[in-house]
Chain A
């Protein structure tokens, strides 16, 4: 008898025909160093239990908690029933029986657990020192971070599905403040992996220091529209909002800019964007959050929109097969890519500058939740960046905004770089040349 069979039987007695449990268990250690001393150390064991079930009225109710015991099991069942009774949405709902075949990928690195905590903390101290040594203008290392997470998530249901994936990762990072001539700038960089041997203190220290010092001595920028190199960080920020429009639910609800455009050229021919859940990295997912086997797929290939991202419900509504992109827990699953990648080109960042000649180099955009209209794709965002003069990176700008429209930006890709960066949110992208972007500053 399975661990949850008794729970499934109680649910059935309460009128729940099919039921699913998503159980997330995580052990996280977070350390923050300040002036060579540990300022914060946290060691946490957390659990998330999300249950959803199809009640006798055919509707799906959901409830969640953070402990697994008799009392909570009863809470989950009672709340599912209460919630399912009021649902009016008529979309088909599914508790999945399982795919025929799964391409299992190992996302758990045992060696990471074997590295002693003392070694991990010693590296933080080295990192803090190395950042200070990197540049005299580094006035403060605000905080140096180390974090490791070991997690296990289980998807089990009354239809016989029982899938478990374990994973772990760590990251190092630091907040840096640089000052010069009365001007202060801050920067932040992190390194994310699950292989400890890949961590290079010096390389990260250099990036951390530069993230702040490179912005010093900024010049103002009159409003212009010009050619730009969008640094991989800026591309990653914009790309996630852009690909949000591939969510089949948004399409079905008539609020996607990609609606009706399958097979159409919606972006530059230079651009291929893929979802690669079966990549060999900590982001790999071999089943989605409904339990369907995942696979790698292009979303946009040479600028042509190839597919929307589906879960079982939205796929059934469109009469297609799910793309195994269900994400999240609860009565309704959303969809999204697991490892979103932009296929790199051949040119280095310096070659991109040379190709632009005169223009701007945008190194980051912030304020997406306020300056981006996700519905229209229009954005006007606080940005950091540099001028590009005579084919080379020039002086930094002091406080600028970058503005444009997402659809236009990705149509306007002139060249794709080879400098891929992987962000901790599961996106990998190189820098891009954009034919026209609006920049304005003080």
Chain B
């Protein structure tokens, strides 16, 4: 840790040539990853991350640098190197630092470091045994892994604010690879939390239950036909299905794209209809123990529940203070980064489409011929054009209002702003799922989510010819 006294000195040296804002981001994190392959512990490794990122702003300019030399000499050398970008006089002075007070919604209960490695391995072994119990010779690889991360952060900035943040995250992954001698298929399950590891023994997050599901998906995929291609109605499942909104509409609603006019959504569209009237969506950093939750963002602003879209009307963007300068807007607690090596910017946290009034059953029943996309492997979007793509890891054909055969290799492509207008049914079964989002400020923890929804028409890519 660095003392407040040293932080004040570093901030003043950073500001001495005319920067209008300076900020020290101190990080001390450590991780432990353990993985099993076919029941045996294959790797176990530990990582420690300890450094400082220093950010100087002057109007619309950002100067950034990081160092692992955390001595007074090292930090002042960094400040003196970065302040050379400006040649004016000091206009902002720091003489004290006040602690930012925020609600602690995800307070650490049991430090993952105090959980014996053997206990973490036992969790994975239970999942592996469940797959083994299926006793199916087509399963050739079983990979189970657990990643635990403890992150300590302290931020000191020239607005005389300082705060500490202490969080921990854990995530497991189960991958099952099956072969029929001709090709391979994979089933995959992942869950994550900021809560105790016992979370992975319960309900929908139960590792054993999900390992069984992943194995069965891999096996079913072996005999599944290829997904047909073309335009069709697509019903998107709850939870993971939220990756559609995350990929297609999330990045264009972040100030990092909006501020420079690089998003297809413009600030002047706030208050206008951008989605179907039955669509409301939020980005909420305040969910207790939520995967993407933070109490205070990297600029010292408290985490918020940001209403992005209400009844189809664009309400607000996810904004950080720096990009907010170009938009005449204040940061709303969305500023994050992967670690001290990244320049922070506005990012999603827990982003989801709100529950509607239909039921899942009603939506399926109302669909004559189309695709039911249940789970996804991820995707990407170009915020300037809205073009997105994402691959389905579990999908079925709907015929005459019934879920029929499983298909493999389905990809959904389209333009986010068109999809939002094309949502014609929203169910009441909202669920969230934990993932990662990669962008300019690195890979951050984000939840996606939605209830079951239907998109009237979407382009589906696949190798199975026309849908009949």
- State the A residues within 8 Å of B (CB): 34, 37-47, 61-67, 72, 75, 79, 82-84, 86-90, 140, 142-143, 175, 177, 184-186, 223, 253-255, 257, 330-332, 366-367, 369-373, 375-382, 399, 401, 403-405, 438, 440-442
Contact of A382 among B48, B65, B387 (CB under 8 A): B387
**Which secondary structure characterizes the binding site on chain B?**
strand
Cβ of B64 and Cβ of A40 under 8 Å apart? yes
Tell me whether A330 and B45 are in contact (CB under 8 A).
Answer: yes
Contact assessment for B45 and A331 in the assembled complex, using a CB-CB cutoff below 8 Å:
yes
B310-318, B409-417, B444-452: which lies at the interface: B409-417
Q: B152-167: which residues lie under 8 A (CB-CB) from chain A? A: none
Q: B63 at the A/B interface (Cβ < 8 Å)?
A: yes
> Could you list 14 examples of A-B contacts with CB < 8 Å?
A40-B62, A41-B64, A64-B47, A82-B46, A83-B117, A89-B40, A223-B465, A253-B140, A254-B141, A370-B379, A372-B391, A380-B227, A382-B461, A401-B413
If the complex has contacts A43-B65, A382-B389, are A376 and B183 also in contact, measured as CB distance less than 8 A?
A: yes
Q: Given that A66-B68, A253-B141, A399-B415 are known contacts, is A39 also in contact with B61, CB under 8 Å in the complex? A: yes
Docked CA distance A66–B70 (Å): 12
Query: Which residue from A37, A44, A64 sits with its C-beta under 8 Å from B45?
Result: A64
B276 at the interface (CB under 8 A from A): no
Q: B444: shortest Cβ distance to chain A, in Å?
A: 16
Q: In the bound complex, do residue B43 and residue A332 qualify as a contact, i.e. CB atoms below 8 Å apart?
A: yes
Q: Residues on B close to A: CB < 8 A?
A: 34, 37, 40-51, 60-70, 81-82, 85, 117-118, 121, 140-141, 177, 179, 183-186, 226-227, 229-231, 260-262, 264, 341, 343, 376-380, 382, 384-385, 387-391, 408-411, 413-415, 459, 461-463, 465-466
**Smallest Cβ distance from A153 to chain B, in angstroms?**
16
Given contacts A64-B48, A253-B140, 6 further A-B contacts (CB under 8 A): A42-B64, A63-B48, A65-B50, A67-B69, A86-B34, A378-B463
Residues of B within 8 A of A370 (CB): 376-380, 389-391, 411
Contacts of A401 in B (CB 8 A): 229, 389, 411, 413, 459, 461
Q: Is the CB of A66 within 8 A of B389?
A: no
Contacts of A405 in B (CB 8 A): 463
Asked if A42 and B343 sit within 8 Å, CB to CB, the answer is yes
Assess the A371–B41 pair: CB atoms within 8 A: no
Q: Indicate if the CB atoms of A223 and B409 lie closer than 8 Å.
A: no
**Of the candidates A41, A185, A377, A438, which one forms a contact with B385 in the assembled complex, judged by CB atoms under 8 Å apart?**
A185
Report whether B379 and A40 are in contact in the complex, using a CB–CB cutoff of 8 Å: no
User: Closest chain A residue to B465 by CB distance?
Assistant: A223
- Kindly provide the distance from the CB of B63 to the nearest chain A CB, expressed in whole angstroms: 5
Q: Is the CB of B62 within 8 A of A41?
A: yes
For residue A189, give the distance in angstroms from its CB to the closest CB of chain B.
15
Which chain A positions have C-beta within 8 A of B42? 87-89, 332
Q: Of A63, A66, A366, which is within 8 A of B51 by CB?
A: A66
- Report the bound CA distance from A115 to B44 in whole Å: 44
The answer to whether B377 and A369 have CB atoms under 8 Å apart is: yes
A257 to B260, CA, bound (A): 45
Which of B49, B376, B388 lies in contact with A66, CB distance below 8 A?
A: B49
Report yes or no: B68 in contact with A86, Cβ–Cβ below 8 A: no
What residue in chain A is nearest B31 (Cβ atoms)? A64
Report the minimal beta-carbon distance from A147 to chain B, rounded to whole angstroms: 13
The 8 Å CB contact of A62, one of B45, B260, B261, B411, is B45
- B125 CB, min distance to chain A CBs, angstroms: 10
Contact: A223 with B179, CB < 8 Å? no
Q: Which residue of B40, B63, B262, B459 contacts A88 across the interface (Cβ within 8 Å)?
A: B40
Q: Decide: B117 and A46 in contact? CB cutoff 8 A.
A: no
> Are A41 and B63 in contact (CB-based, < 8 A)?
yes
Residues of B within 8 A of A371 (CB): 389-391, 411, 461
Question: Smallest CB-CB separation from B262: which chain A residue?
Answer: A142
Find chain A residues with CB under 8 A from B414 CB: 399
The answer to whether B459 touches A441 (Cβ under 8 A) is yes
Contact status of A403 and B461, CB under 8 A, knowing A63-B46, A87-B41, A367-B379: yes
Q: How far is the CB of B459 from chain A (nearest CB, A)?
A: 5
B18 to chain A, nearest CB (A): 14
Verify B41–A89 contact, CB threshold 8 A: yes
CB distance from B242 to the nearest CB of A (A): 15
Find chain B residues with CB under 8 A from A64 CB. Answer: 45-48
Q: By the criterion CB–CB under 8 Å, are A61 and B463 in contact?
A: no
State whether A142 touches B185 (Cβ < 8 A). no
A72 in contact with B41 (CB, 8 Å): no
A254 and B226 alpha carbons, distance in the complex (Å): 23
Q: Which residues of A contact B408 (CB under 8 A)?
A: 373, 378
Residues of B within 8 A of A372 (CB): 391
The CA of A66 and the CA of B45, in the complex, are separated in Å by 15
Alpha-carbon gap, A38 to B141, bound state (A): 50
Find chain B residues with CB under 8 A from A376 CB: 183-185
| B466 contact from A184, A223, A331, A381, Cβ within 8 A | A223
A320 and B64 alpha carbons, distance in the complex (Å): 48
Once the chains bind, are B260 and A382 in contact (CB under 8 Å)?
A: no
Q: Within the complex, which residue of A83, A142, A254 is in contact with B44, where a contact is CB–CB below 8 Å?
A: A83
